[in-house]
A and B are shown apart, each in its own frame.
Chain A
């Protein structure tokens, strides 16, 4: 058997993004148990990015240079995935990344993000997740279920996600226009803004029925409260990132009811782990049992990251980077988040090589009797194999 296969894993375990990594230990423990049971010899070197892009780049370099890992895995938000992937690309070390929409990942690593002609594919880094086109489709499908005036207010911050979502070429604006929605985008605000009266005034005077955007939780809370205070009550609010985690929705008190968001993964997704054979429900339940906390969406993707890694390593000599890279490119595997294959399906040609897409559906947070919220899948037009749990409802 010889030396163990060394995987390096970077995620934001501390700092503001720590919620994304809360299942890391649970998943890696499960991964080690499963591989051992299967007679495989793996070692995982875990590094904490501290939610800091500088630190993420440093630890990636450490993984490559000191730990000499065979493959780097990285998850959660462009702030973590991009510095790590950039480092791996420069070092010609294979890297698989996930849990960030592919545009901020791919375009965000281009030298001149503003000039599509200059974009180049990468050699050794790969990403699987959904993209903006998916979230746009999911959101507009959800909105389509309701009667609205098709006026949309956009809240896009000046960060990796916000710039991609609001991008005039690849983001929301062109698609919404095509579908007959009018988008009111007042401009990029900075994260941790204390006042949204400018946006609220703009949406109010426009009479927007729909609000969308990709916000960090504190900003959405600030916005949503202020909107209610100012008497601005849209029918739909579909917000990325901010209401990903149940705690963030609970922080809104009763005002979180019927907020909608994209669903990357849920306990009801009809997929199984290729590694442990667990269903999505079983994985989620295992997590809750182990930690006493409710399941969250990133769990499935972190698990899938390790599934892909094992699958790749089965098909290549772990010590041969070229071979590993080739094996990643040739992947075609059913994971707990669905099929992962870098086959260029549903992607523009420039991203086809490095990006694989997973299915995305839409959900709404529903206030449970006796407190707490449930995430109910309300739209599956983009992935009919994922069952819905209800229909889209307008906010109060």
Chain B
């Protein structure tokens, strides 16, 4: 078919008209976020930390459920395992918390390998339940780890976070107290993690692997027939999500400084809320979790003082959105406006060759 490659002038791009503008806006926003600790109050930094870490978890879950069709209700396994590994690194091995966060991510990655082996034998709903059981097993096993407090839990050695790499420097540079400097360093780490996570997911989706992933999600059998290996594609995504989730878990618990199995493997905190964030914002888009986490944060601040009403309303909103706007708030918005901050569509442009050249293959009518 070599003669086909010659004359035509095709271009393939994923950019939309607005995408260059939105890329710039996003870069500006990231720069602004980086500088935020200089001019906002500590409580805002704190809230931003919460938003960013939840965003990372939501992006990871969305990557699994929205892009790979892997509905996991066991992501708390990786949050908790990453966090426990971080604690072990700091408390038992005397590592710097910063290094221990990386250890947390790696530990979650390591956990995901045997886990994947098991859960990928299961399909659909079985997969969901399988991930949940695995998370329970990990929780119950870590509850037996006496050196880290067993079921009681444990706290980071006092001062560990204050001696973390960079904290002293930030404290001196900005003239703030130790705990505040720790918060700022953690915030920057969260920002970095969020940006890298979103960037990597975006890059993945625009890569060949991302295309294969979409194909597998849409039609597994057909994907196999055009050369895509569904198991490998899904496993890859599963491992990546576990790694990022583990990093986020470790980071969250550096900030909390206290861990217990029930907290670190909490289904509501690390999976339920995350699912709500993705569903409210819009599953299967990068923008969705971003919108979702903001809405979730606002809801939480408005309603948190109403105790169980808060969760009740959150549940109702989740149900209503799933029933009436299954593509979430971002979906509603994008359907109206066609807006896309992170376009992944490959748009084909260019001219087909003049009819004379295609004569040989089309024949005359």
Find out whether the CB atom of B149 lies under 8 angstroms from the CB atom of A108.
yes
Counting CB contacts under 8 A, is A86 at the interface? yes
Find out whether the CB atom of B268 lies under 8 angstroms from the CB atom of A14.
no
Find out whether the CB atom of A54 lies under 8 angstroms from the CB atom of B154.
no
Contact of B151 among A13, A114, A120, A159 (CB under 8 A): A159
Q: Which of B17-25, B42-50, B238-246, B320-328 contacts A (4 or more CB under 8 A)?
A: B42-50
Which single residue of chain B is at the shortest CB-CB distance from A87?
Answer: B257
Which of A54, A78, A83, A160 is packed against the most chain B CB atoms within 10 Å?
Answer: A54
Q: How far is the CB of A47 from chain B (nearest CB, A)?
A: 9
Find out whether the CB atom of B42 lies under 8 angstroms from the CB atom of A112.
no
Q: Which B residues are in CB contact (< 8 Å) with A66?
A: 41, 43, 46
Which of B152, B182, B307 is packed against the most chain A CB atoms within 10 Å?
Answer: B152
Q: Which B residues are in CB contact (< 8 Å) with A157?
A: 151
Find out whether the CB atom of B46 lies under 8 angstroms from the CB atom of A61.
yes
Find out whether the CB atom of B158 lies under 8 angstroms from the CB atom of A13.
no
Beyond A53-B258, A57-B258, A82-B258, is A90–B161 a contact (Cβ under 8 Å)?
Answer: yes
Counting CB contacts under 8 A, is A162 at the interface? yes
Counting CB contacts under 8 A, is A188 at the interface? yes
CA A163 to CA B154, docked complex, whole Å: 12
Q: Which B residues are in CB contact (< 8 Å) with A110?
A: 154-155
Interface of A, secondary structure class, is helix
Which single residue of chain A is at the shortest CB-CB distance from B144?
Answer: A158
Beyond A90-B158, A113-B149, A114-B147, is A14–B308 a contact (Cβ under 8 Å)?
Answer: yes
Q: How far is the CB of B304 from chain A (nearest CB, A)?
A: 8
Find out whether the CB atom of B152 lies under 8 angstroms from the CB atom of A159.
yes
CA A58 to CA B273, docked complex, whole Å: 15
Beyond A62-B43, A65-B46, is A112–B258 a contact (Cβ under 8 Å)?
Answer: no
CA A188 to CA B262, docked complex, whole Å: 16
Chain B, residues 145-181, CB within 8 Å of chain A (1/0): the string is 0110111111111101110000000000000011100
Q: How far is the CB of A49 from chain B (nearest CB, A)?
A: 11
Counting CB contacts under 8 A, is B62 at the interface? no
Chain A, residues 50-69, CB within 8 Å of chain B (1/0): the string is 10111101100110011000
CA A120 to CA B159, docked complex, whole Å: 11
Q: Which B residues are in CB contact (< 8 Å) with A82?
A: 153, 155, 258, 260
Contact of B260 among A53, A111, A122, A188 (CB under 8 A): A53
Q: Which A residues are in CB contact (< 8 Å) with B229?
A: none
Beyond A48-B307, A79-B262, A89-B158, is A158–B153 a contact (Cβ under 8 Å)?
Answer: no
Q: Which B residues are in CB contact (< 8 Å) with A324?
A: none
Which single residue of chain B is at the shortest CB-CB distance from A163?
Answer: B152
CA A122 to CA B258, docked complex, whole Å: 14
Q: Which A residues are in CB contact (< 8 Å) with B179?
A: 90-92
Contact of B266 among A13, A54, A163 (CB under 8 A): A54
Counting CB contacts under 8 A, is B140 at the interface? yes
Q: Which A residues are in CB contact (< 8 Å) with B3?
A: none
Interface of B, secondary structure class, is helix
CA A78 to CA B158, docked complex, whole Å: 18
Find out whether the CB atom of B307 lies under 8 angstroms from the CB atom of A164.
no
Interface range on chain B: under 10, 10 to 19, 20 to 34, or 35 or more?
35 or more
CA A179 to CA B190, docked complex, whole Å: 54
Counting CB contacts under 8 A, is A109 at the interface? yes
CA A58 to CA B53, docked complex, whole Å: 13
Contact of A112 among B92, B140, B160 (CB under 8 A): B92
CA A248 to CA B5, docked complex, whole Å: 80
Counting CB contacts under 8 A, is A41 at the interface? no
Q: Which B residues are in CB contact (< 8 Å) with A13?
A: 307
Beyond A52-B269, A163-B152, is A120–B140 a contact (Cβ under 8 Å)?
Answer: no
Contact of B152 among A48, A108, A111 (CB under 8 A): A108
Counting CB contacts under 8 A, is B294 at the interface? no
Q: Which A residues are in CB contact (< 8 Å) with B295?
A: none
Chain B, residues 18-62, CB within 8 Å of chain A (1/0): the string is 000000000000000000000001110010001000000000000
Beyond A113-B149, A159-B152, is A122–B158 a contact (Cβ under 8 Å)?
Answer: yes
| A contact set with B: CB distance below 8 Å | 13-14, 48, 50, 52-55, 57-58, 61-62, 65-66, 78-79, 82-83, 86-87, 89-92, 104, 108-114, 120, 122-123, 157-160, 162-164, 188, 190
A-B contacts, 10 listed (Cβ < 8 Å):
A53-B263, A57-B257, A86-B155, A86-B256, A110-B155, A113-B152, A158-B150, A159-B262, A160-B260, A188-B151
- A-B pairs with the 6 shortest C-beta distances? A158-B151, A66-B43, A53-B263, A111-B157, A86-B258, A111-B91
- Apart from A78-B152, A86-B256, A89-B155, 13 more pairs, CB < 8 Å: A53-B260, A57-B263, A65-B43, A65-B183, A66-B41, A82-B155, A90-B162, A90-B179, A112-B147, A112-B154, A114-B146, A120-B158, A163-B149
